Amino acid sequence: MKYYVGIDLGGTNIVAGVVDGDYKIIAKASTKTNCPRPEKEIAADMAKMAQQAVENAGLTFDDIEWIGIGTPGIANSSTGIIEYSNNLGFKDTPMVKYITEFIGRNDTPVYIENDANAAAYGEYVAGAAKGAKNAVCITLGTGVGGGIIIDGKIYAGSNFAGAEIGHTVVEVDGAQCSCGRKGCFEAYSSATGLIRMSKEAMAEHPDSLMNKMAEEKGKVTARTSFDCMRAGDIYAKAVVDKYIKYLAAGITNTINIFQPDILCIGGGVCNEGDPLLLPMKELVAKEVYTRNSPKNTKIVIAELGNDAGIIGAAFLGRANG
Amino acid sequence: MKYYVGIDLGGTNIVAGVVDGDYKIIAKASTKTNCPRPEKEIAADMAKMAQQAVENAGLTFDDIEWIGIGTPGIANSSTGIIEYSNNLGFKDTPMVKYITEFIGRNDTPVYIENDANAAAYGEYVAGAAKGAKNAVCITLGTGVGGGIIIDGKIYAGSNFAGAEIGHTVVEVDGAQCSCGRKGCFEAYSSATGLIRMSKEAMAEHPDSLMNKMAEEKGKVTARTSFDCMRAGDIYAKAVVDKYIKYLAAGITNTINIFQPDILCIGGGVCNEGDPLLLPMKELVAKEVYTRNSPKNTKIVIAELGNDAGIIGAAFLGRANG
């Protein structure tokens, strides 16, 4: 059997995994990223985690086909350079070169890719988007991430900075987004956007159950509005309805552009399940350009969770042809 | 030299052209589409125009490599069937089969593609998007059309109905769009959208020069606001500013998703030139996710006009394979 190493480089953790040919993670190793610190130190720890994961799997690098890395920021998969990463403080970081040096095996290829793209590729090879020709993955987390698979390959754009579906404006002059624009999909459909809308409703309706619950829990979370809606609070329901409306708008936009076989959504907010998904799908079905066509995009929930990034990274050797 | 036939099937006209290997149209023939009428009659006229164009070029079908057709609606380039076209009243129309029969040459391949995609491909092979790896073309006409080229091939989506960039919402609950949604890019950035915004401003400001000019000309056009802005009317300038703001929003959205080498815009509104383009480009440069990157998408004006559809159709034999 062949084995592959995937490294998920995050702002908080470095996680390396050994993945087998059936897309199963058979061993892992992780450490803190400890940003900010020199890029070479981070690379050294990434290599160490890869080595440890291989050891944990009871293997040696002779068993490893290649190493793939998912990283925040702009990862040039052709040159192996992370051109820019705000989170990590990287600028033109020659990550593939570093890892090759630290691992010390010139015959083990090393690949890099943006983390959201790698995670989308993970869902494509082994998760909810399996079997698609074209797929788009949207992750509803602190931000709204996007990953695009076209004809079985990652589409990252000509400058490797594409797929920023979260940073498409769905409301001109709307809510402020972290990217500097106003009214981005992310500003409404991220967990952060949901919390903002909850707080706005709470300020407007001090008698909302959301205020009581937030006081009890000591904070407003992305679950506050959903929990209070289930408890019968009409203001919470209005927040959820608004959240779903914007989410459906952004998803419909994405389908109208890509008409993928599969649109996969993931991230913590998806744990809300049917109360989120059913009305969202209903709105999309009503609005999508091909609503009268029998061949519509299947909307599915991501299956791999945090493992998507490792599994996707582990198969980067196939991701770009 | 090799020659290629491109047929641009429109709601009003059928135009066939013979194109040489240098992407030049060397002969044309056209007739009215005369909708609605039976699909087979339209196909017969398309074949007739192809034959006449070949004759006008002083050639025979022995000189023709293949025939390509650009059509409104959902054109399945794999099966050769136009699955749906609202404009033409087509449903599951086996156009490739018809044309092959009417031309009577089984050894001349026939290809079909959506007309906006074919026009984008024309700009890609011979026009403003030449040399790009990835390109997106946006046409500002009665509607807002989109065409996507990825890695040198047309991207039409898994169900051949994609690239509807005009039908992405840029303002939730915004202006009514012909597609049934509210707030689409098309509802603001088409010539129709510009006329609507001009009329709204005219109703609000009866003393605007736009009212006087519209009365003189007997109608409001997409030029009214630009002409009156140049004549110093502040209300007209506000309309143009609003138009440019939404156009920049939609273009920035498209770049954030695709990060193409080239984004090509065409259509009548582009004839306004610098007063439209310069402020639009400035807004995009300010807003785009990669605004601090040296590798940004080049925004260019389409070069081929109505010929893009014929030239693109003529090279469809290369577009998907």
* DSSP letters spanning B242-301: HHHHHHHHHHHHHHHHH--SEEEEESGGGGG-HHHHHHHHHHHHHHSTTTT-S--PEEEE
pLDDT of the residue at B58:
98
A104 with A202, same domain: the answer is: no
pLDDT digits (tens, 9 = 90+) for B104-139: 999 999 999 999 999 999 999 999 999 999 999 999
Out of B165, B181, B258, name the one closest to residue A162 (CB): B258
Q: Distance between CA B49 and CA B55 in Å, rounded?
A: 10
pLDDT digits (tens, 9 = 90+) for A158-194: 999 999 999 999 999 999 999 999 999 999 999 999 9
Q: What pTM was estimated for this model as a whole?
A: 0.96
A297 with A149, same domain: the answer is: yes
For A190-217, the three-class secondary structure string (H helix, E strand, C coil) is: CHHHHHHHHHHHHHHCCCCHHHHHHHHH
pLDDT-derived band at B245, boundaries 50, 70, 90:
very high
Range of the domain at A183: 130-301
**Closest approach of B242 to chain A, Cα-based (Å):** 11
Mean pLDDT within A59-79: 96
B114 with B243, same domain: the answer is: no
Cβ-Cβ contacts under 8 Å, A296 against chain B: 159
Mean pLDDT within B83-100: 94
pLDDT for residue B321 is more than 90: no
pLDDT-derived band at A294, boundaries 50, 70, 90:
confident
B216 with B110, same domain: the answer is: no
Q: What percent of chain B has pLDDT over 70?
A: 100
Q: What percent of chain B has pLDDT over 90?
A: 97
**Closest approach of B14 to chain A, Cα-based (Å):** 26
**Tokens read off for A144:** 């709204």
A170 with A252, same domain: the answer is: yes
pLDDT-derived band at B2, boundaries 50, 70, 90:
very high
pLDDT of the residue at A86:
85
Cβ–Cβ below 8 Å for A158 and B253: no
Cβ-Cβ contacts under 8 Å, A289 against chain B: 161, 164, 167, 179
B100 with B167, same domain: the answer is: no
pLDDT of the residue at A220:
97
Q: Which residues contact A235 (CB under 8 A, 6 or more apart)?
A: A201, A202, A204, A205, A208, A209, A210, A228
Mean pLDDT within B58-80: 97
B312 with B297, same domain: the answer is: no
**Closest approach of A215 to chain B, Cα-based (Å):** 32
CATH for A208: 3.30.420.40
Q: Distance between CA B20 and CA B179 in Å, rounded?
A: 38
Cβ-Cβ contacts under 8 Å, A168 against chain B: 168, 253, 256-257
Mean pLDDT within B86-94: 92
Out of A159, A249, A296, name the one closest to residue B293 (CB): A159
**Closest approach of B276 to chain A, Cα-based (Å):** 19
pLDDT-derived band at A321, boundaries 50, 70, 90:
low
B170 with B294, same domain: the answer is: yes
Mean pLDDT within A1-8: 95
A292 with A151, same domain: the answer is: yes
CA end-to-end distance (rounded Å), chain A:
22
**Residues B261, B298: contact at Cβ < 8 Å?**
yes
Mean pLDDT within B279-294: 94
B222 with B136, same domain: the answer is: yes
| Residue of B259, B287, B297, B298 to mutate when probing chain A, most A C-beta within 10 A | B259
Cβ-Cβ contacts under 8 Å, A174 against chain B: 172
Out of B165, B172, B261, name the one closest to residue A257 (CB): B165
Q: Distance between CA B170 and CA B174 in Å, rounded?
A: 8
Average pLDDT along chain A: 96
A148 with A262, same domain: the answer is: yes
Q: Say how many domains are in chain A.
A: 2
pLDDT of the residue at B163:
97
Interface pTM, i.e. ipTM: 0.96
B96 with B153, same domain: the answer is: no
pLDDT digits (tens, 9 = 90+) for A257-282: 999 999 999 999 999 999 999 999 99
**Residues A171, A242: contact at Cβ < 8 Å?**
no
